[in-house]
Amino acid sequence: MAVPARTCGASRPGEARTPRPWPGPGAQRPAPRPPRPLLLLLPPLLLLSLLAAPGASAYSFPQQHTMQHWARRLEQEIDGVMRIFGGVQHLREIYKDNRNLFEVQENEPQKLVEKVAGDIESLLDRKVQALKRLADAAENFQKAHRWQDNIKEEDIMYYDAKADAELDDPESEDMERGSKASTLRLDFLEDPNFKNKVNYSYTAVQIPTDIYKGSTVILNELNWTEALENVFIENRRQDPTLLWQVFGSATGVTRYYPATPWRAPKKIDLYDVRRRPWYIQGASSPKDMVIIVDVSGSVSGLTLKLMKTSVCEMLDTLSDDDYVNVASFNEKAQPVSCFTHLVQANVHNKKVFKEAVQGMVAKGTTGYKAGFEYAFDQLQNSNITRANCNKMIMMFTDGGEDRVQDVFEKYNWPNRTVRVFTFSVGQHNYDVTPLQWMACANKGYYFEIPSIGAIRINTQEYLDVLGRPMVLAGKEAKQVQWTNVYEDALGLGLVLTGTLPVFNLTQDGPGEKKNQLILGVMGIDVALSDIKRLTPNYTLGANGYVFAIDLNGYVLLHPNLKPQTTNFQEPVTLDFLDAELEDENKEEIRRSMIDGNKGHRQIRTLVKSLDERYIDEVMRNYTWVPIRSTNYSLGLVLPPYSTFYLQANLSDQILQVKYFEFLLPSSFESEGHVFIAPREYCKDLNASDNNTEFLKNFIELMEKVTPDSKQCNNFLLHNLILDTGITQQLVERVWRDQDLNTYSLLAVFAATDGGITRVFPNKAAEDWTENPEPFNASFYRRSLDNHGYVFKPPHQDTLLRPLELENDTVGVLVSTAVELSLGGRTLRPAVVGVKLDLEAWAEKFKVLASNRTHQDQPQKCGPSSHCEMDCEVNNEDLLCVLIDDGGFLVLSNQNHQWDQVGRFFSEVDANLMLALYNNSFYTRKESFDYQADCAPQPPGNLGAAPRGVFVPTIADFLNLAWWTSAAAWSLFQQLLCGLIYHSWFQADPAEAEGSPEARESSCVMKQTQYYFGSVNASYNAIIDCGNCSRLFHAQRLTNTNLLFVVAEKPLCSQCEAGRLLQKETHCILPPPLPRRPRPSHPACPLRATAASLTTHARPADGPEQCELVQRPRYRRGPHICFDYNATEDTSDCGRGASFPPSLSVLVSLQLLLLLGLPPRPQPQVHAHASRRL
């Protein structure tokens, strides 16, 4: 047969190339490469003449004009069906006929965004006033309080928020010690505002597990803070919308109002208010911190583990306003990670540090000079972005003799602009005087960490030192700061918190210096949902929205802010450029907003579809203004078609009743099924995830109230009822008189901005799977953004079985927006469409792409007469498909591919998809989802990596730590380290189960979407691979999102190396320790978002964090820095321990361990080990 040789191969994957048109007869094909079949050695003109010779004994590949003819037939058929059944023109006429029932309103972006910003400012200002009352009252209460040295537990009455949980736990601290505190027993009532049971008459107290409740300091703290209860109550009386009011004490005590039981985990509660993002932000100004760790040979075993854990705990005291770097030193200093300078202390960078710290190895000799010189050089580097406030060096060591005075004289004296904090780690017999001297000579503090129990306390108390200049600054430092979004520990959801520091106003005596201690931080929460209520809900259309960012560029309002984790230990830090698809225009908008400017800009940009399968290029109008008295900026995004919207005006109650009747299920059989958007139409309307039940609740409520009732949203109700009547008229004028089966349609439908989705006929609603809220339906939003007909095949998950093609159950949606022009104002208030019967339209597709002249007369080609192949007769040799703009299969002439409709086409024909991509029919867009979550690694026989902990796994150790001396406790640790190494530094499954950190952790998902490239014409091309080739033709169908592709079916498989595969989105965890094979149950659940497309079936490494920090995004820190005060008293700078260990005992113990115990098994490190810090 005179047929060109074919291959299933494709060109090597790489950058998109300029398409090569396949010209008509007489042109040459690409130059062949040896070895070639004999046929391909023929001259090109002879080869082409064989292809088109009338006497050839075979079908030839269709000519370009033939395939263009097929494409036109397809376009005409689609357009004809949509004109008849879609009812776009009819719906336009219906709207015009009912012009008296609605008004066209305008969205004025500048006015809108200024109004919303003003409303948010007013809301936050009410919280600020409450904060100031609380802070002033706290300072006065503490000043008037008389310290009691002999205070007893039984003298204090308070509600212990953890008391109920501890009574149920026989191993709890109070049960073991026999607590003498008079703990109140309270009754609670469910409050929907708090999503919790509360008691408005009392406050609750939470005390960290590692703090003894009966200590004199804690009891005095409980005593004076009790008076805050009345202030909390009065604040709520003045502003009933107040949520949690909290005082976080520098001693670790948390007193909050209203009272509610603490949501403690099943095992040890690690919550400490001093490590919460809002407390850290309120307790000190931003920090530039360099952590240096001694890794000389003397630091080994338990001491090195204590250091690693201490560094990780220190990192947890930093927020996104801070900058940090970590280095290790012996004779030389070097960074522990790839970061060569100070980097922002965000979640991603801190994870890099924590993993890198675990790889530190002890060797060499101690060289303090190398460590400090490295740290000072880091702090003096002015060519990088940094906080420029509170410069400090944190040194962890086991001890040494060198004071490196010459280094301090060179870099830090006489101004002492850098504070030095020193930490003596582990049990040793070194002289700690040099370490004390370093701290005292540089306005810092000296701490000792002899055991695990001391880590958390001693790595956070440096904040007291940093708070001194704030306290001494007085009223100037009393500034309310607003945090970014984070997860509330008591179950309120996403909140932001206003903070105000509380200062100690006491003096030691008449004429003495002013006290310079910070008492704590006062905080008031604002639920993100309360701020969202101040923004326009449904007047902006399906694709309009309001967003807000802070000085870091992190969003606190955005429709794409949807964190998957509920780990309240980590703040939600989603950058605006990660919430959307980044481009230069958005970078400039972000910078202007951070700088507090106003602005407006219309841009062409890319947006990701709601189902994350598609990318659309759209026009958007951005308008932004600052929110005064805050560090936030507010933005409004509007598509041009959302400049205007409809507002129903149904004053005629008879008409209201008439239209309302079309919502009753009794009308569905004749008028089609109606889904209503689950919106807050009235206060008393019971919500439900089941739309049938929600409609029932809605109808029952409407029988009691009218659409004009004060308890209802009149705008939403009137628009809903109006759209009910308008869509019913579409049924009456168009759908009811048409035979859907004639055109192989399963259903016709219309969806509106008013919240109505009408599906006809009624039985088709049984298979309707789209979101009943049109604004949350992908087909609705994409139709508004695209001209013409948008095809949406059924979503196929590569991990699930293929489609089950049963009678009339599988369909393809085709939708288009209805554009109205009323008095020169253009808007798109609705989307209409049809649902194609997949099997019937696949058969119709073959006929339309064939040489038939009549429906019942297929053209036959015998061996004696030449004719071109077509998609019907020659489906064994010719592949014909329709692919949508995301690369998903819509229709095929191959019956065996019908159950693959909706899959990424590379899974159907990898080489052909790659050729389409390489010839610029498709463009690839990669992005990262920073809000994903990863499940914990289930316990297995590999064991877990050593983790940083502040308490032993065995709960008894925690209690024992309080009652033993430092020396005895250390001795006990040395003994147990050899005996229970696994259980100590390895995650306890039982404990992990109750720990939020172990339940789930944030990770990054890589996503890749494909969308149409710049090619709009019709092209023939060749897939050239090795010894054979494969012809294909591709052409965009006008007025649709479809690509028509005709190709020779593959006959060989030499070129399957390069593919574009649709795979699960992969978890991108923090950089692991040495990698091991993946377990059979991966730590990252296979979340089958159809948009997660990767070029190779391998875990994605994500954006390289080490490269990202070299080009940091623009940000601004807080406007004022408090890191210096001339009157600061630096004489209190720490002291040594009172219980030096016995060296002889320790030596004897080590000999005993070496001689009398079996070798300690080394724990195996797993890449996905759970860590809890």
Among the residue ranges 70-84, 173-187, 631-645, 1059-1073, the one predicted with the least confidence is 1059-1073
Q: Which pLDDT score, from 0 to 100, does residue 338 have?
A: 94
- Cα–Cα distance measured from residue 506 to residue 220, given in angstroms and rounded to the nearest whole number: 15
Among the residue ranges 142-146, 268-272, 496-500, 880-884, the one predicted with the least confidence is 268-272
pLDDT band for position 1056 (cuts 50, 70, 90): low
In the Cβ-directed half-sphere of 594, how many Cα atoms lie within 13 Å? Answer: 20
Per-residue pLDDT tens for 281-304?
Answer: 999 999 999 999 999 999 988 999
Alpha helices in 358-496 (DSSP H): 368-380, 405-411, 433-440, 455-458, 462-466, 468-473
Longest dimension (CA), the chain: 119
In the Cβ-directed half-sphere of 143, how many Cα atoms lie within 13 Å? Answer: 15
Q: Greater confidence, 128 or 29?
A: 128
What are the DSSP calls for 628-655, one per residue? TTSS-EEEEEE-GGGSEEEEE----HHH
Q: Which pLDDT score, from 0 to 100, does residue 988 have?
A: 38
Per-residue pLDDT tens for 209-253?
Answer: 889 999 999 999 999 999 999 999 999 999 999 999 999 999 999
pLDDT band for position 1020 (cuts 50, 70, 90): confident
pLDDT tops 90 at residue 731: yes
Among the residue ranges 416-430, 832-846, 908-922, 1010-1024, the one predicted with the least confidence is 1010-1024
- Cα–Cα distance measured from residue 718 to residue 715, given in angstroms and rounded to the nearest whole number: 5
pLDDT tops 90 at residue 175: no
- Cα–Cα distance measured from residue 185 to residue 20, given in angstroms and rounded to the nearest whole number: 81
CB–CB of 404/369 below 8 Å? Answer: yes
Beta bridge partners of 626: 633
Q: Which pLDDT score, from 0 to 100, does residue 934 have?
A: 62
CB–CB of 501/283 below 8 Å? Answer: yes
Mean pLDDT for all residues in the chain: 82
- Cα–Cα distance measured from residue 131 to residue 127, given in angstroms and rounded to the nearest whole number: 6
DSSP 83: I
Across the range 26-44, mean pLDDT stands at 35
Q: Which pLDDT score, from 0 to 100, does residue 264 have?
A: 66
Q: Which pLDDT score, from 0 to 100, does residue 1065 have?
A: 54
Nearest 5°: the CA angle 537, 539, 545 is 60
pLDDT tops 80 at residue 747: yes
- Residues near 424 by Cβ (< 8 Å), separated by ≥ 6? 397, 398, 399, 430, 432, 435, 446, 447, 448, 449, 1136
3-state secondary structure of 940: coil
Q: Which pLDDT score, from 0 to 100, does residue 4 have?
A: 39
Token pair, residue 960, equals 């024992």
Per-residue pLDDT tens for 671-713?
Answer: 999 999 999 999 999 999 999 999 999 999 999 998 889 999 9
pLDDT band for position 22 (cuts 50, 70, 90): very low
Per-residue pLDDT tens for 1126-1165?
Answer: 999 999 998 654 334 444 433 443 443 344 433 333 333 3
Among the residue ranges 177-191, 471-485, 1123-1137, the one predicted with the least confidence is 177-191
CB–CB of 324/342 below 8 Å? Answer: yes
Q: What single letter denotes the amino acid at residue 283?
A: A
Per-residue pLDDT tens for 96-155?
Answer: 999 999 999 999 999 999 999 999 999 999 999 999 999 999 999 999 999 999 999 988
Handedness of CA 623, 625, 627, 632 (dihedral sign): positive
Q: What predicted TM-score, i.e. pTM, was given to this entire model?
A: 0.84
Backbone angles phi and psi of 647, in degrees to 5:
-125, 115
- Cα–Cα distance measured from residue 1013 to residue 26, given in angstroms and rounded to the nearest whole number: 29
Q: For residue 515, give the H/E element and its range.
A: none
- Which residue do the tokens 């009352």 mark? 133
- Cα–Cα distance measured from residue 221 to residue 162, given in angstroms and rounded to the nearest whole number: 18
- Residues near 267 by Cβ (< 8 Å), separated by ≥ 6? 955, 988, 990, 991, 993, 994, 995
Q: CA gyration radius for the chain?
A: 35
pLDDT tops 50 at residue 1078: no
- Which residue do the tokens 């014409």 mark? 1017
Q: Greater confidence, 179 or 195?
A: 195
Q: Which pLDDT score, from 0 to 100, does residue 508 have?
A: 66
CB–CB of 707/715 below 8 Å? Answer: no
3-state secondary structure of 664: coil
Q: What share of the chain is helix, strand, coil (3-state, %, to 5)?
A: 35, 20, 45
pLDDT tops 70 at residue 32: no
Question: In Å, how far are 62, 145, 183, 840 from 858, measured between CA atoms?
Answer: 16, 100, 90, 17
- Cα–Cα distance measured from residue 126 to residue 131, given in angstroms and rounded to the nearest whole number: 9
pLDDT tops 90 at residue 430: no
Q: Residue 1127: is it exposed, middle or buried by C-beta count within 10 angstroms (0-12/13-18/19+)?
A: exposed
Q: For residue 842, give the H/E element and its range.
A: helix 838-848
Token pair, residue 420, equals 């030095």
Residue 73, by phi and psi: left (phi above 0), alpha (psi -120 to 50) or beta? alpha
pLDDT band for position 266 (cuts 50, 70, 90): low
Per-residue pLDDT tens for 874-923?
Answer: 888 899 999 999 999 999 999 999 999 999 999 999 889 999 998 899 99
Q: Greater confidence, 529 or 949?
A: 529
User: Within a 10 A sphere around the Cβ of 687, how many other Cβ atoms?
Assistant: 10
- Which residue do the tokens 């390895």 mark? 986
Token pair, residue 624, equals 């932004």
Q: Which pLDDT score, from 0 to 100, does residue 564 have?
A: 75
CB–CB of 523/498 below 8 Å? Answer: yes
Query: Which runs of E-coded beta strand occur in 731-857?
Result: 745-752, 756-760, 790-792, 811-822, 825-837
- Cα–Cα distance measured from residue 932 to residue 617, given in angstroms and rounded to the nearest whole number: 25
Handedness of CA 364, 1171, 1003, 342 (dihedral sign): negative
CB–CB of 503/479 below 8 Å? Answer: no
Q: Which pLDDT score, from 0 to 100, does residue 1058 have?
A: 64
Q: Which pLDDT score, from 0 to 100, does residue 1050 have?
A: 78
Q: Which pLDDT score, from 0 to 100, does residue 945 have?
A: 34
What are the DSSP calls for 885-901, one per residue? TTSBEEEES-GGGGGGT
Across the range 500-518, mean pLDDT stands at 83
pLDDT tops 80 at residue 57: no
CB–CB of 629/1150 below 8 Å? Answer: no
Q: Which pLDDT score, from 0 to 100, does residue 167 have?
A: 53
User: Within a 10 A sphere around the Cβ of 629, how many other Cβ atoms?
Assistant: 14
pLDDT tops 80 at residue 312: yes
Beta bridge partners of 618: 605
What are the DSSP calls for 1101-1128, one per residue? --S-HHHHTTSPPP----S------TT-
Per-residue pLDDT tens for 818-853?
Answer: 999 999 999 999 999 999 999 999 999 999 999 876
Query: Which runs of E-coded beta strand occur in 672-761?
Result: 673-676, 745-752, 756-760
- Residues near 769 by Cβ (< 8 Å), separated by ≥ 6? none
- Which residue do the tokens 């609740």 mark? 697
Per-residue pLDDT tens for 916-968?
Answer: 998 899 999 988 888 876 655 544 433 333 333 333 433 333 333 333 433 44
CB–CB of 923/886 below 8 Å? Answer: no
pLDDT tops 50 at residue 47: no
CB–CB of 846/872 below 8 Å? Answer: yes
CB–CB of 669/762 below 8 Å? Answer: yes
DSSP 773: S
**Percentage above 70 pLDDT, the chain:** 76
pLDDT tops 70 at residue 75: yes
44 closest CA partner among 65, 22, 63: 22
Q: Which pLDDT score, from 0 to 100, does residue 570 have?
A: 73
Per-residue pLDDT tens for 603-648?
Answer: 999 999 999 999 999 999 999 999 998 999 999 999 999 999 999 9
Q: For residue 796, give the H/E element and its range.
A: none
pLDDT tops 70 at residue 27: no
Residue 126, by phi and psi: left (phi above 0), alpha (psi -120 to 50) or beta? alpha
pLDDT tops 80 at residue 190: yes
- Cα–Cα distance measured from residue 829 to residue 923, given in angstroms and rounded to the nearest whole number: 31
Tell me whether strands 323-329 and 288-294 are parallel, antiparallel or unpaired.
parallel
